Amino acid sequence: MAITKLDQMFEVLKSKEKKRLVAAYANDSHTIGAVSNAVDKGIVEATLVGDEETIKKVCLQDGIDVNKFTIVQEADEMKAASLAVKLINEGKGNLLMKGAVTTDKYMRAILNKETGLMNPNAVLTHVTVIETPNYPKLLIVGDVAIIPAPDFKQKLTLTNYLISTAHALGISNPKVACIAATEQMSATMPACVDAAILSKMNDRGQIKGAVVDGPLALDVAIDKESAEIKKLKSEVAGDADCLLFPNIESANVFYKTNTKLCGAELGAIVVGARVPAILSSRGDSELTKLYSIALAALTAK
């Protein structure tokens, strides 16, 4: 059964094997609180890499039993991120999570050519799952955070990541909308050209496990009435599960409009590394981080 609300992930995960999460520089209360909740819900076991004294102090202040975690001492921010990645590579974890470490240092640890988590020619990108009160199901969106202007090869890779994320959420044949400024084919707009090629590749069986259509403007992708008014014939129009955006500006604005103006909640992961990596902002809520852990656990091998 397809997951239509983020909190439904917890129930699905109860029947799956627990994953081992490794949190990098987990010195902050939001990270520790989210990981604690995930442990309590039975979806992960957890290793916290950071300053042990600080972690114990946070746990004491927040009433969290510190004994539910394995703590690995490393007080230096960059070294903690590198150590967390090392533990993953040693088989001591299959989910990576960003704690209080800055994003650039976290990404540096993942991308390190000698000690990181990247296989040759892998594409690292970001997938966000949004639950908004104004849409009847989840929206799986990319890329809001990592690739500024994806080329065609990166869009193809991201499309397949969106599809695999949808499958992990129980959506057997997701509908993928390749977003552009218009649903009319325009050879002068690169977003339209790329979208049309992706759509045709899906028609020819080169992209499997989904229905892909584009170019589609955002209104016709998610609003049936707009699609009907414009007399658009499309299996995806008005009912998209996944939104592939042409660039980071449009994706990021969509993401922040939903969270800041529409009351949306989300989970987000970085994909393309050997394991899913949780890249929530240090300012994200504990609930957002918890949903991100659950999403990572669902998509992990």
Does residue 34 contact residue 293 with C-beta atoms inside 8 Å? yes
The SS3 call for residue 73 is strand
Q: Single out the residue of 160, 195, 161 nearest to residue 270, CA to CA.
A: 161
Q: What is the DSSP string of 186-248?
A: -TT-HHHHHHHHHHHHHHTTSS-SSEEEEEE-HHHHH-HHHHHHTT---SSTT--SEEE-SSH
> Looking at residues 218-231, what average pLDDT do you find?
95
CA 101, 40, 24: angle at the middle one, nearest 5?
Answer: 15
Backbone phi and psi for residue 27, each to the nearest 5 degrees, phi listed first: -100, -5
Q: Residue 273: pLDDT above 90?
A: yes
Q: What distance in Å separates the CA atoms of residue 238 and residue 225, rounded to the nearest whole number?
A: 7
Among the CATH numbers 2.40.37.10, 3.40.50.1360, 3.40.50.10950, 3.10.20.740, which is that of 8-121+273-299?
A: 3.40.50.10950
Rounded to 10 deg, the angle between the 152-168 and 190-203 helix axes is: 50
| 125-261: in CATH 3.40.718.10 | yes
> Looking at residues 174-183, what average pLDDT do you find?
97
**What integer pLDDT is reported at residue 77 of this predicted model?**
95
Q: What distance in Å separates the CA atoms of residue 61 and residue 81, rounded to the nearest whole number?
A: 24
Does residue 118 contact residue 110 with C-beta atoms inside 8 Å? yes
Does residue 259 contact residue 196 with C-beta atoms inside 8 Å? no
**What integer pLDDT is reported at residue 1 of this predicted model?**
78
Q: What is the pLDDT of residues 34-71, one digit of tens each?
A: 999 999 999 999 999 999 999 999 999 999 999 999 99
**What integer pLDDT is reported at residue 283 of this predicted model?**
65
Q: What distance in Å separates the CA atoms of residue 139 and residue 132, rounded to the nearest whole number?
A: 8
Residue 169 to residues 66, 196, 247: CA-CA distances in angstroms?
Answer: 31, 26, 25
DSSP state of 114: T
- Where along the chain do its domains lie? 8-121+273-299, 125-261
> Where residue 284 falls among pLDDT bands split at 50, 70, 90?
confident
- Tokens representing 152 are 């065609």
Q: Residue 282: pLDDT above 90?
A: no
Residue 73 to residues 81, 201, 205, 300: CA-CA distances in angstroms?
Answer: 12, 49, 50, 26
Q: Residue 301: pLDDT above 90?
A: no
Q: Name the average pLDDT for the chain.
A: 95
Q: What is the pLDDT of residues 121-157, one digit of tens each?
A: 899 999 999 999 999 999 999 999 999 999 999 999 9
Backbone phi and psi for residue 289, each to the nearest 5 degrees, phi listed first: -65, -35
Q: What is the pLDDT of residues 79-118, one digit of tens each?
A: 999 999 999 999 999 999 999 999 999 999 999 999 999 9
